């Protein structure tokens, strides 16, 4: 389980930073793998409003860090926006990232593609401001709501703290850090107990990527799914992306990974499915290992990719049925 914390303050070790750390500590205590991104340290250009993404499904600006952000947003089970209030909204650095999620909005609402994790991904907002204004968090909470719609995560609400001016003031608040930690535990706790599944193939570019997405799409939050390859390719095969898009499922921004990049690999998997990876799997499952004899579609035409896609879809459905009757 992967929790992404987006830290939106340009002031390091300030109130936002401390609040997010407390939330992530709570998530970690429940077993999550967490990653905190210092958003102002990233190079994220503002949206140009050119509508390129609405036609093509990706941004015309390719030279900044937004591609990496999209990869992380798509990988996360939970995304936490943490921001100081600047003029009743989020910081400009955070707003640039939010505006650039228009690419994900376009893929969802214009191209009608579904992020396979859409049924279970969650989002939460942490915010701090210096004044006591009644409406201090109203605008930012609305922005968060629509951001989470764009990134296909369910908005779970926010924790906002007023009267926090000096750096580190939040540490002297009677309950703020404890509340953030408890919220991190509580929201992450909803994911505890999912069965861990792993799909392995050679390059993690087609078969295991499609299997991972189908299991997320059809089984929702009953499985915590990952995939990997013993010789990871540089990108997900574009024909796998195309074949899955024909089913309405979006693989965009996913990346092949090696076994060494698996999340929380020391914890046993309940199920490992191998499909033609050349090494014997070094991970010991607590449950079962399956071998799916599926030909590698690498280098083959779209028609072949479709055949393998359909075969994987059927096998994943059977797998879900058998897990339900376990
Ligand atoms: C440019 C700027 C605009 C701000 N606007 C507001 C505001 O509208 N309302 C408010 O309550 N605080 C405002 N503040 C104060 C910060 O929200 C506050 O100091 C917060 O604790 C900073 O968080 P940090 O330590 O994580 O940077 C503003 C601060 C700056 C620098």
218 shares its domain with 135: no
Final residue belonging to a domain, choices 164, 189, 214: 189
Pocket of ligand 1 (CB under 6 A): 9, 11, 14-17, 84-88, 128-131, 136, 164-165, 167
- Which regions of the chain are under pLDDT 50? none
3-state DSSP call for residue 57?
A: coil
CATH code of the domain covering residue 317? 3.40.50.2300
* Residue of the CA atom closest to atom 22 of ligand 1: 84
Token output for 232: 């990871």
CATH code of the domain covering residue 119? 3.40.50.360
pLDDT tens-digit series, residues 10-36: 999 999 999 999 999 999 999 999 999
202 shares its domain with 171: no
Final residue belonging to a domain, choices 140, 171, 189: 189
Catalogue the E-assigned strands of the chain.
2-7, 33-38, 78-84, 122-128, 154-161, 195-201, 223-229, 269-274, 285-291
DSSP structure class, residue 309: H
Q: pTM for this structure?
A: 0.96
Distance from Cα 35 to the centre of ligand 1, integer Å: 24
Distance from Cα 90 to the centre of ligand 1, integer Å: 9
Query: Domain range for residue 53?
Result: 2-189
pLDDT at res. 282: 64
Final residue belonging to a domain, choices 189, 204, 226: 189
174 shares its domain with 265: no
179 shares its domain with 211: no
78 shares its domain with 166: yes
203 shares its domain with 166: no
Token output for 112: 């009608």
178 shares its domain with 221: no
pLDDT tens-digit series, residues 81-117: 999 999 999 999 999 999 999 999 999 999 999 999 9
123 shares its domain with 213: no
User: How many domains are there within the chain?
Assistant: 2
232 shares its domain with 165: no
86 shares its domain with 6: yes
Q: Which residue stretches of the chain are H helix?
A: 15-29, 52-56, 66-75, 92-100, 102-105, 138-150, 176-189, 207-219, 238-246, 302-324
145 shares its domain with 204: no
pLDDT at res. 279: 59
Rounded Cα distance, 278 and 260, in Å: 15
238 shares its domain with 285: yes
Best probe residue, ligand 1, of 87, 89, 163 (max atoms within 8 Å of C-beta): 87
pLDDT at res. 280: 59
Distance from Cα 9 to the centre of ligand 1, integer Å: 9
* Residue of the CA atom closest to atom 8 of ligand 1: 87
């Amino acid at each position: 389980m992967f929790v992404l914390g987006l830290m939106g303050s340009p002031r390091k070790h300030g109130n936002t930073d401390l609040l997010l750390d407390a939330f992530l500590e709570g998530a970690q205590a429940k077993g999550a793998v967490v990653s905190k991104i210092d958003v102002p340290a990233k190079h994220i250009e503002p949206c140009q409003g050119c509508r390129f993404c609405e036609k093509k499904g990706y941004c015309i600006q390719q030279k900044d860090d937004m591609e990496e952000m999209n990869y992380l947003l798509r990988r996360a089970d939970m995304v936490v926006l943490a921001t100081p209030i600047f003029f009743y909204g989020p910081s400009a650095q955070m707003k640039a990232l939010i505006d650039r999620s228009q690419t994900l909005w376009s893929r969802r609402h214009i191209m009608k593609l579904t992020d396979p994790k859409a049924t279970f991904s969650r989002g939460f907002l942490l915010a701090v401001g210096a004044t006591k204004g009644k409406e201090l968090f109203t605008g930012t909470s609305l922005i968060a709501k629509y951001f989470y719609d764009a990134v296909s995560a369910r908005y779970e609400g926010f924790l906002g703290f007023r009267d926090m001016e000096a750096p580190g003031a939040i540490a002297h608040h009677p309950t703020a850090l404890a509340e953030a930690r408890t919220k991190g535990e509580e929201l992450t706790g909803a994911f505890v107990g999912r069965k861990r599944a792993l799909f392995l193939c050679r390059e993690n570019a087609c078969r295991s990527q499609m299997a991972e997405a189908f299991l997320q799409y059809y089984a929702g939050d009953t499985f915590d799914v990952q995939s990997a390859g013993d010789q990871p390719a540089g990108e997900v095969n574009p024909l796998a992306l195309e074949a899955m898009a024909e089913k309405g499922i979006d693989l965009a921004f996913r990346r092949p990974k090696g076994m060494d990049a698996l999340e929380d690999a020391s914890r046993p998997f309940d199920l490992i499915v191998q499909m033609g990876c050349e090494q014997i799997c070094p991970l010991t499952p607590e449950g079962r290992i399956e071998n799916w004899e599926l030909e590698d579609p690498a280098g083959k035409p779209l028609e072949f990719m479709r055949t393998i896609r359909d075969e994987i879809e059927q096998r994943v459905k059977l797998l879900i049925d058998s897990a339900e009757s376990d």
